[in-house]
């Protein structure tokens, strides 16, 4: 540690500020990175993290402050310049060109091919063809390819933005190990993640942003999580809201939504589940086990090839999402951009489901609409600094809009697909509370999550899907990460015989 401190910082940012019109996104952001160090950059929603990242990587220009690389002042005006100085980012959305094949993408970035191949196999992808077109590959593979491409150009500073989101667990392990090994060889890494477990595993220290300023720089030691969260939120975090027990579930009568032997093509093979009123039913599965198809079938986006869906004892079939919505099933997609009108206002987005009701044809009562919308905004604590277009909100706030619009409309059955992907702790917590509150009001919620740790916080029960089949149903109280992980990998008796 001491000789690390003696070394000159590889990258040092001080007093960085940036404003967009009247909104101050950053006013005093700072970051110091020494060779061989992995620094976690943390901050709640709207703390200015993405703005800071954009400034560091040359996608935005700062208003004031200094960024020094090896002691020399820099002011990047484009990502290309940042790359030249050895700072290579891997963004949350892969920056590979979708219509070109991998070989062309490498040529475009002037990435050497052999090191790239080395890193691809190091990161656990065996059968890569360089002539595969990018848009034919799954998201998880793309993120690995993006990382391999970054590593192959031997960056001095690697910036990883939510690198492990959307990755299956085995690849996450590989990525973490590889990144740590690179740091031990002297590379510096800025690591952005909402997963404390990963940060504890590989990071040396955490730099915490709050309201546009760096508020802390903590070495990672056991138990530092609470401190980081406190710094991020400004308050201590209490845990675990109320949860519905099995007895209460039985008291609520028959299941509200029954799914029986549902099948869609080859992905979803045989899923049966009961969703009660007032219940949050978790769904846990590794990437691509049929969960996408399950949700899309329930939302009326695709037609099942087998089995049936029963709502309040009546079998239903959906030809269009409107049919599902009419039966009270509302789907909140994992990809926020799929569910929102990005160029329209927060108000319009929240009001849209109100307008789209066929029976509400004709004039819209603006007054009633405005009060319901404002109500929803207040309940969700949506940050209204960027009150204009939804696309100007931060990711977490966008996610709140996707949920909030259905709350304003009144919700019966909510299908949430990975609502907390890539958003911060504070917003996550608001979403859990919101989901619990909805359930308390009698709504049924089906809640898919890729983050196992949040299951006990948000759900009553959880079904585990493996290879298109339900392999386990676990009470949330017993659903610790290990149990869920074993089930998700099909390591239970039922799956082994299947």
Partner 1 sequence: MSRIVARHGWTLGLMAILVLLFVFTKVIQPNFGLTGLDSLSRATLPFAFATAAMAIVVIAGGIDLSVASMMAVAGVTAAVLMEGAGTGMTLFTVVAVLVIGLGMGAINGALIVVTRVPDIVVTLAMLFVWEGVALLILKAPGGAATPWLREIIVGPFLVPWLPRSFVFLVVCLAVVWIPLRRSRLGLSIYAIGSDELAAYRSGIAIGRTRIIAYALCGLFAAMGGLTLTLSTGNGEPIPGPYLMASVAAVVLGGVVLGGGKGALLGPIIAVFILRLVRMDLTLISVDPNVTTIVEGTIMVVVVMIGGVLAMRGRRQ
**Chain positions contacting partner 1, by CB under 8 A:** 59, 78-80, 83, 89, 91, 93-100, 104-105, 107-110, 131
Nearest residue (CB) to partner 1, 244 versus 269: 269
Residues 6+ apart with CB under 8 A from 395: 45, 50, 336, 422, 423
Distance of closest approach, residue 109 Cβ to partner 1, in angstroms: 5
Nearest residue (CB) to partner 1, 60 versus 373: 60
| Segments in 31-76 forming alpha helices (H) | 49-56
Number of residues that this document lists for the chain: 498
Distance of closest approach, residue 84 Cβ to partner 1, in angstroms: 8
Nearest residue (CB) to partner 1, 93 versus 170: 93
Nearest residue (CB) to partner 1, 129 versus 367: 129
Distance of closest approach, residue 94 Cβ to partner 1, in angstroms: 7
| Segments in 285-424 forming alpha helices (H) | 291-298, 321-326, 336-339, 346-355, 366-380, 395-409
Do 456 and 476 form a contact (C-beta atoms < 8 A)?
yes
Distance of closest approach, residue 188 Cβ to partner 1, in angstroms: 20
From first CA to last CA, the distance across the chain in angstroms is 51
Distance of closest approach, residue 451 Cβ to partner 1, in angstroms: 26
Question: What's the angle, vertex CA 305, arms to CA 299 and CA 309, rounded to 5?
Answer: 50
Pairing of the two strands 38-43 and 205-210: parallel
Across the beta sheet with 157-161, the strand order is 72-74, 64-69, 11-20, 23-33, 213-219, 205-210, 38-43, 188-192, 157-161, 87-90
Nearest residue (CB) to partner 1, 59 versus 316: 59
Residue 66, burial from CB neighbour count under 10 angstroms (0-12, 13-18, 19+): middle
Nearest residue (CB) to partner 1, 159 versus 471: 159
Do 298 and 324 form a contact (C-beta atoms < 8 A)?
yes
Nearest residue (CB) to partner 1, 142 versus 455: 142
Distance of closest approach, residue 99 Cβ to partner 1, in angstroms: 4
For residue 42, the tally of other CB atoms under 10 A from its CB is: 27
Distance of closest approach, residue 266 Cβ to partner 1, in angstroms: 11
Nearest residue (CB) to partner 1, 36 versus 468: 468
Q: Reduced to 3 states, what is the DSSP secondary structure of residue 477?
A: helix
Among the listed residues 293, 285, 286, the one whose alpha carbon sits nearest the alpha carbon of residue 263: 293
Nearest residue (CB) to partner 1, 5 versus 110: 110
Distance of closest approach, residue 93 Cβ to partner 1, in angstroms: 8
Do 10 and 188 form a contact (C-beta atoms < 8 A)?
yes
In the structure encoding, which two tokens stand for residue 67, read together? Answer: 């960024």
Distance, CA of 291 to CA of 24 (rounded, Å): 40
Distance of closest approach, residue 439 Cβ to partner 1, in angstroms: 35
Residues 6+ apart with CB under 8 A from 63: 17, 18, 19
Nearest residue (CB) to partner 1, 76 versus 406: 76
Distance of closest approach, residue 77 Cβ to partner 1, in angstroms: 11
């Amino acid at each position: 540690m001491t000789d690390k401190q003696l070394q000159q910082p590889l990258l040092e940012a001080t007093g960085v500020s940036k404003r967009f019109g009247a909104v101050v996104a950053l006013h005093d952001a700072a970051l110091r990175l020494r060779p061989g160090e992995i620094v976690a950059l943390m901050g709640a929603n709207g703390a200015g993290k993405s703005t800071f990242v954009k400034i560091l990587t040359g996608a935005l220009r700062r208003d004031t402050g200094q960024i020094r690389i090896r002691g020399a002042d820099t002011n990047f005006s484009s990502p290309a310049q940042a790359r030249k100085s050895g700072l290579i980012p891997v963004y949350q959305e892969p920056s590979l060109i979708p219509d070109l094949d991998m070989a062309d993408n490498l040529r475009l970035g002037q990435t050497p091919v052999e090191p790239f191949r080395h890193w691809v196999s190091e990161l656990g992808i065996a059968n890569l063809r360089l002539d595969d077109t990018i848009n034919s590959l799954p998201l998880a593979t793309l993120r690995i390819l993006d990382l391999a491409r970054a590593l192959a150009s031997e960056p001095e500073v690697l910036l990883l933005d939510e690198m492990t989101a959307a990755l299956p667990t085995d690849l996450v392990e590989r990525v973490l190990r590889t990144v740590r090994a690179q740091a031990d060889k002297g590379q510096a890494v800025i690591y952005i993640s909402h997963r404390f477990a990963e940060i504890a595993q590989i990071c040396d220290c955490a730099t915490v942003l709050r309201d546009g300023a760096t508020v802390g720089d903590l070495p990672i030691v056991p138990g530092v999580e609470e401190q980081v969260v406190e710094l991020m939120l400004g308050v201590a975090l209490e845990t675990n809201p109320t949860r519905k027990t099995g007895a209460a579930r039985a008291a609520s009568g028959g299941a509200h939504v029954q799914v029986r032997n549902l099948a869609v093509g080859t992905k979803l093979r045989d899923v049966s589940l009961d969703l009660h009123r007032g219940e949050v039913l978790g769904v846990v599965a590794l990437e691509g086990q049929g969960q996408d198809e399950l949700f899309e079938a329930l939302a009326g986006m695709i037609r099942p090839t087998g089995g049936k869906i029963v709502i309040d004892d009546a079998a239903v079939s959906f030809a269009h999402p409107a049919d599902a919505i009419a039966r009270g099933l509302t789907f909140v997609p994992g990809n926020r951009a799929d569910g929102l009108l990005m160029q329209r206002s927060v108000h319009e987005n929240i009001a849209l489901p109100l307008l789209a009701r066929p029976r509400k044809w004709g004039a819209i009562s603006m007054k009633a609409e405005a009060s319901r919308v404002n109500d929803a905004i207040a309940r969700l604590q949506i940050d209204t600094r960027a009150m204009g277009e939804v696309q100007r909100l931060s990711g977490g706030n966008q996610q709140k809009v996707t949920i909030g619009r259905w709350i304003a409309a009144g919700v019966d059955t909510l299908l949430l697909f990975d609502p907390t992907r890539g958003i911060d702790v504070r917003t996550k917590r608001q979403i859990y509370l919101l989901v619990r509150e909805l359930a308390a009001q009698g709504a049924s919620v089906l809640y898919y999550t890729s983050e196992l740790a949040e299951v006990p916080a948000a759900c009553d029960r959880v079904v585990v899907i493996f290879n298109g089949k339900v392999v386990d149903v676990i009470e949330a109280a017993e659903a610790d990460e290990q149990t869920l992980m074993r089930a998700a990998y099909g390591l239970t008796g039922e799956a082994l015989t299947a």
